Amino acid sequence: MSQPGSHDAMVARRLRVVRQANGLSQRELARRTGVGSGTISQIESMATQPSVSVLKKILDGIPMDLASFFSFGISPADSPVFRSGAHVDIGGPGVKYLSLAAARPNRKLQMLHEFYQPGADSGRRALTHEGEECAVVVAGRLEVTVGDETYLLERGDGYYFSSLTPHRFRNPGPGICEVVSTCTPPTF
């Protein structure tokens, strides 16, 4: 076993990022490759450095070749922490949708920090898409239309529904409405 060095740390971090970006647990990756989950854990914790053949065998289970493994850039999107100034605004006029981890590859859910100006809405047409979504109103009031029903939500109220049902959001005012929402799978 070698002493942990910068190469060990790079391999450990890259393997963890690639595995997690592909939605694989250490156990699932081990099952796919025939390499023990203990070995994968030791590599990721820098307790051991894999041989090229073992690393190749692990990467075959993702799948990814060695050249790609050593050449891809690790961006801040690979971090588990996303600072408030790094959220991407994907909203429109009167609506700010701050997307958390927007650049993260292979996301399984989407989280938004939403701000609706008084009178602003999600658009004239109702939205429909695959999945489910839920939210909680942090401040203000939000009018939520799901199917043929319209509800007025206030601070602390929330919603949860199938996104296949046509839905629309509007701030009836008088102040800014703030919402934290999530949906799966990501639609933006």
CA distance 30 to 25: 9
Cβ distance 116 to 136 under 8 Å?
no
Structure tokens at 162: 């199938």
Q: What is the pLDDT of residues 66-80, one digit of tens each?
A: 767 776 665 555 677
Q: Is 124 exposed, middle or buried (0-12, 13-18, 19+ CB in 10 A)?
A: exposed
User: 1-10 in b/e burial notation, b at 16+ Cβ within 10 A?
Assistant: eeeeeeebee
pLDDT at 124: 81
Per-residue pLDDT tens, the chain, 188 aa: give them: 334 445 667 788 888 888 887 888 899 999 999 999 999 999 988 888 887 778 888 988 988 877 677 766 655 556 778 777 777 777 777 888 888 877 676 778 889 999 999 999 988 888 888 899 999 999 999 999 999 999 999 999 999 999 999 999 999 999 999 999 999 987 76
The fold for domain 84-184 equals Jelly Rolls (2.60.120)
In the chain, which segments carry CATH 1.10.260.40? 6-74
CATH class of 6-74: mainly alpha
pLDDT per position as a tens digit, 120-146: 998 888 888 889 999 999 999 999 999
Helix-strand-coil percent breakdown of the chain, rounded to 5?
30, 30, 45
Of 1, 50, 41, nearest in space to 19 by CA: 41
What's residue 152's pLDDT? 98
Encoded tokens for 58: 């692990």
For residue 183, list its beta bridge partners: 110, 133
> CATH 2.60.120.10 in the chain, residues?
84-184
